[in-house]
Each structure stands twice: as C-alpha cells, then as structure tokens.
Chains A and B, each alone.
Chain A
Amino acid sequence: MDFNFLNDYFMFFIHGAKITLLLSIFTIFLGVLMGIVLALLRLSNNVVLKSISAAYIEFIRGTPLLVQLYIVYYGLPLIGIEFPDIDALGSSFPDLMSGVVALSLNSGAYVSEIIRAGIQAVEKGQMEASRSLGLTYGMSMYYIILPQAFKNILPALGNEFITIIKESAIVSIIGIHDLMYNTDIVRGNTYKPFEPLIIAAIMYFIMTFTLSRLIGFVEGRLKVSD
C-alpha cells in the first residue's frame, strides 16, 4: 500500500470532512426540531394531525434515502424553491441545501419515533402532577416531560446522530463535495482505487467516535439526579 498521495491530497480530505461535518450539524439540528414536532403531532389527540405525522413517518421509513435525496434535489426547484448560488466552503450552496433538506426530512422521521418512545416512557403521573399545579400542557411538556424524555432517549439519539454522519456520504451522488465525493476524486486522480478509502474510513471513524464519546459524557452529566 502506498499513501504518498497524501502529500498532495491531504487537504482534499480535510475540506471534504468539513462539508460532511457542516452537513451533519445542520441535519442533526433540523432533524431534532422536526422530530419534536412530528412526535408531538403523533401524540396529540387530533386525529388528522396524528395521521399526517404517522403517514409521513411510514413513508420516510419505507423508501430509500437515495430516492428521497433525488426527489428533493430535483423536486425543490420544480415547486419553486431555489437557494441563492453562493459559495459554501467550495461547494454549491443549492446542492448543499438539497442535501441538508433531504437528510433532515429523513432523520426527522426517525428522531420523532425515538422522541415519541421517550415521551411515552415518562410516567403518566408526571404530566398529571404538573397539570394539577396549573401548568398548561405546553409548559408541562417543556419543563417536565421533555427534559426527562431527553435523558431516556440520549443513547438512541446518539446512534441516530452517528447514522447521520455516515449516511451523509450519500450526498456525494448529487455532487456535494463532502468527504466521500473528495475521496472518489482522489481515487480517480491517483489511479489508486483502494488506499483513499482507508483514509476516508479513518476520518469518518474519527468523527463518529468523537461524537459518541461526547454523548457518553453528556449522559454522565445528566445522571446527577439518579
């Protein structure tokens, strides 16, 4: 094995990793936001809202991410949503946004199922106690239920975040210059189909391992009240 190509291409991997990270952070943020909304809809008493949320989750879980990515990539411009073509760390901003939107729409469905399970795992008496004090449903959710649910679901949520980082590699297919895309370029330029993949794997692993340690640390901090 020959890793001499790193002399010329190392920064290529770094730039790719930056895009992957950027993409993942936005996706995690938007995915969680969407997940909370979908979970609350799913748990509401309104049959219409409930069904919309359930149908959405089923659809996302039942179709490939690649198909969803294409639908967003070609679909957004069709329904008149276009992002300004500004430079985003060397990548095209509209492409990047397509990636973020598709990954968030996908992740939101999975996150919502995690959050729903977490909310339902909080004892029923907690909501009753909170309501009996006069707090509204929303306040009870915000101050009492969600913080406890969050603690329950942190490990599962961590898994989902790690999945996002890994699955984000799929956006290379719409030409976003993420770690995977840049790796492919190096493979082509150097006529080395194998070695660059090792570098990519190591870099993905560094990102996911760091994240999993970070989540482990937060879990430890939240254990104070146990």
Chain B
Amino acid sequence: MESSESEDVTTVREFSANGTCMKITEVEAKLDEGNIEEAESALREGLSINSEEARALLGKLEYQRGNLEGALRVFDGIDLEAAAQRLQSSIAEKQPTKKVSQHAASVVLEAIYLKAKSLQKLGKCTEAANECKGVLDAAEKTFCQGTPDTQVDEKLQEIVSHAVELLPELWKGAGCYNEALSAYRNALLSQWNLGNDFCARIQMSFAVFLLHSGVEASPPSLAVQVEGSYVPKNNLEEAILLLMISLRKFGLSKTAWDPSVMEHLIFALSTCGQTSTLAKLFEELMPGIYHRIDRWNSLALCHCGAGKNKSALNLLRMSLHKHERPDDLISLLLAARICNEDPHLAAEGAGYAQRAINNARGLDEHLKGVGLRMLGLCLGKQARVASSDFERSMLQSKALQSLEEAVRLEQNNSDLIFELGIQYAQHRNLTSALRYAKQFFDRTGGSKLEGWRLLALVLSAQKRFSEAEVVTDAALDETAKWEQGPLFKLKAKLKISQLRPMDAIEIYRYLLALVQAQRKSLGPPKLSSQGEDDKINELDVWHGLANLYSSLSHWKDAEICLQKARELKEYSAATIHTEGVMFDGRGQSHEALVSAANAVLFEPNYVPCKILMASLMLKIGPKALPVARSLLSDALRIEPTNRMAWYHLGLTHKDDGRLRDAADCFQAASMLEESDPIEGFSCIL
C-alpha cells in the first residue's frame, strides 16, 4: 500500500493545520491497527492542535476512506454536544477575548455533520437526523445575532448549507415525514443564507415530497406570510408554486438548468388538467433549453390537451416539416387525429397517418395499427367532402379497409371497434354495424353512453323499434340524470316512429322539466377535460317538440315551442326550417319559401332546408324544376343517404317526364327508407 502511494507523486495526501503539514500515511497506519489514541496524539504533536481538532481530522480521514464505523468511533471520542454548547456559552458571555472564531465553530460542526453522514450511510437515519439537527441548532444558537465577523466563513456556511439540505432527506429516510416536512419549511423559510443552487435543490426535493409522499401537509403558518401574498392551500399548490419559482430562477440565470423541474411540472399540471398553463410555461422557457422541435411537440401536446387543436396543428406542421423531424410518430398520429375533426383537413390528416404507418417500424411497430386507424378515420371524413360520387365511394371503401386492417392489429381497442360500427352504419351495412355495436357494448360493459346510442340507432334503422326502445330504457337506467337528454330524445323519436305521438309529447315534457331542474342546480365545476356534453340541450328539446306538434298540425302549440326555441337562439337554420314546414302545412307556400331560402342562407349546408325549398319549388310549376333539381343534387352531395332528397328528386324527374330516372330515384329512396335510423348516425360522434 505504501509503495503504491509513494510512487504516485501527484497526489500527496496530508493533514494540514496551523500552517504545518503531516503525511496522512503516517497516521493511517496507526488507525488501521485500531490505535485511535496513538493516531490522535501523533496528530496533536505534529500539528500542534488540541485533541478535539485531532479527532475531527481523524474522523474526516476515516470518513473519506469510507470506513464509516471507524469514523463513528473517532467521533465518539469527542463530546460534540459539549463542544457545541461551549460555543454557545462563549457567545453568551460576550467576552471579546474569548471570541469564538467562526473557524472553531466550523470544525465542530463539520465533525457533527460527518457523523450524521456516516450514520446515514450505515442506514441509521433517525440517529443521523438528530445529529444533523444538532448542527443546525448549534449554528442557530451560536450565531443568532449574526456572525462576529462581517464576513461569513466560507467553510462554515458550506457546512450549514449542507446540513440544511441533508436534514429533510434524513427524516424522509427515517420515515418521519412530518419532521421532514418541517425541516423542508425551516430550510426554505429561515435565514440560512443559502446559495442559489442549494436553494433550488431543496425547493425541488420539497416539491417532489409534497407531490408524491402522500402526506397531506398543513399550509405554511400564517406567521411567515405577508399580507396580500399568495398562500398555497395544499400540497399540490405548494409544489406547483415551488417548481414554478425554480423555473423562474433558472430563467433569471440564477441556477443551473435541471430538466426534472420541468418534468415534475408537466406531471403535476397535466394530471390536474392544466395543460394550458403548461403551454404557457413552455412558451416562456428560454430558447435553447429544449430543442426547438421538442418544444414544438410538447407545446402541441399541451395545446391539444387543452382543446386548442388549431394551435397544436400549426406547431405540428412545423415540426413535421421535411427539414425538421418528419418521422416522429407521436406527432404524426396527433396531427392526424386533429385533422380528423375537420372534413376539410381530413386529406392532410390521411397524409400524416400514411406517414405514420410507413414509419411504424422496429420498436415502434406496435403503433402501426394506430396509424391505420387514423388513416381510416381521416379517409372516412374526407369522403364527406368528396366532389364526386366516384371519389366518395372510393374513399369510403378505403376507409373501411384501413379500419378493418387496424382492428386486426388492435383487437382490444374498443374505440376502434366503435368507430368501425359507426363507419358501417353510415354505409348502411347494418348487420356489420350491429355486430360491432354489440362488441363495443360488451367490451366497455355499457359504460359509454355512445355505445348505448349506437346500439339503439342501429336497431331503429333495422326497424326493430321495440328492441331499440328496450335498449334506450336500459340505457336510461344506467345513466345519471344530466346525461339522459340524448337518450330521451331518442326515445321520443322512437315513439313517433311507432306512431305514438302522445307518448313522445310526454317525454318531451319530462325533458323540459329536466332542463328546469338543471338550470336550478347550476354548473358544478367540471374537469377541464370534460366538455359541456353532459348537458341537456334546451334548444334541441323545443325544436323537437315544435317539429312534433307541426307534424300533428297542432299549429298553435308548435308556434309556442318555436318561439321558445327562438328565444334561445334567434337565427338557427333548424328553427327556421320548422317554421317553413309550418307555413307549408298551413298552405302559405310563399312564406314557407321565404323561410326555406333564409335558412339556406344561414347555413348553406343544412340539408333539410334544401329539400324543403326544392319541394316548394316543385309546387310552383315546371319553370322552377331546374332549380329544384339542382337544390336536391346539392343536398345529395352533402348527404348521399338522405331518402327524402332522393324521393323529391324522383318527383322532379317525374314532373319533367323522365320516368326512368324518377323510378331509379324512388327505388333509392325506398331502399334507404328500409335502413333509415331515427337519427343520423353522425350525431353520436
């Protein structure tokens, strides 16, 4: 051992004190033999120091050598408590001659600190914590009126800072969480003159403790609070506050960047639905911390989580640019998902989805099914705005093909099964639709409202009204009051289809009562991720009732309902359409036509109005036939499965003398009628 060290010239290990030095090796040998006393006296003589100081040096040596038990034996030889007390009393006597140097204090405190560290490493956290607390108590008492010198001794400050940081860790290790909590607070709220890095580490560690310890901390005491300042009420608030402060300190270049601060914030904020706040923090970060693409992608996730899909998509478009990171799978899939919400973006989305499929290789192969699913969904959406029949049917069959392929890879994905059900239903392939609807229902155990609705609608399209009603009734049993709106509406329509309008009216009345009750128990706070979807739409109820009354030629009642609807929303194509129907029913063709035209102006794609307008045109006479025809063609472009549009187109052809075309149209209408659901399938989406 000695030979190896003598060869190593660069590192001369030695003790130094009072300006003299001493080779460590000389003392080390004695220690190794277990002669602490001899080692001590050798040091005392060699460096002209007292026994305490010698012990402190020896302890430090043992600690550095990793001989923790040895270090403890050495430290046990000094009465650290007494030494600490001596420090305090000499201060109290205020004798300038007996002035305690900060240096003397640091020798004692360092020894205690190392004792605590040794105990910690030996797994004796409670004892260690008590020693460590001793360091802080002594420092606090000794220097309660500030240090005798104007400058704080660097070493003393370092020991104290370390002790401040160590103490809560020790209490945590010992499982004493309440003590840890007060140690953290004491560290951050007392005047320890901590450096920024110490402070940042403690804040972060405390934040993690608050977030994940599961110990509910009482808020910081009122004594330390300034009036008008923000007071965290619970763990989560306090943790978020601390992390935000850490982030800001970094922004002011006071501390080094620690990526975990941001990760903890992401976790804390996103688990309480605050991705919009998170987005703000990402935006405020200085450039260069994250790679710009990473930042864009994270921001996109935040925006999308907060429902700001447009902003998210814009960011994704940048990050997926061919010069950036065009193959990033999560971004591709997210972009496709966002595009799927708008038929006009669906083509773009299909492109992203295709790229995702192409890139789902190796470790990411498992995402291929997701890519196919997104592709299928986007193509299905794109079909809605297709400019030709040919294009539409091609897109639709491609969409189905993708989804079928996806479901082979993602057999367990209930959402995908639902989407397939909808896709088939819209295709009027009711057998397949029913199969998927049932499958979805089983997989989710009836936990999704849309599962119930899809099942009922498919059954209604198959004209199995009573079964559809059974499903609806069962669904009503399984839902809470405020979510029953769509189900009751469905039920009312089922009653109408079964030619029981009076039952339907009863249901609408009940719905109106629900609306009243809902208004009284005004809005409970919602999870920010939840939409307004579990509210009964009052406008819909009045409108539905108005339609029902007008179909029964109860004009007065219909008018009242319509008025109510108008109060809620003055200009709505749906209400104006009903108005038109009523005028028409009462023989006021001209007024009806005006209404229909108005509604088309409000909402150019509102199909029922186009049909109404066309039917009124038909009555005007042969001159108006071309207008009617173009209106109906337009309606069919938007909604190719609308049987009423086909029927009226048939009438138009017939009036024009094109009997063969008329027959084709009537046949289409009659075929569609056989598979017509009582509500459009797309209303579930």
Q: Are A and B a genuine interacting pair, yes or no?
A: no
Residues of chain A at the chain B interface (Cβ within 8 Å):
none
Residues of chain B at the chain A interface (Cβ within 8 Å):
none
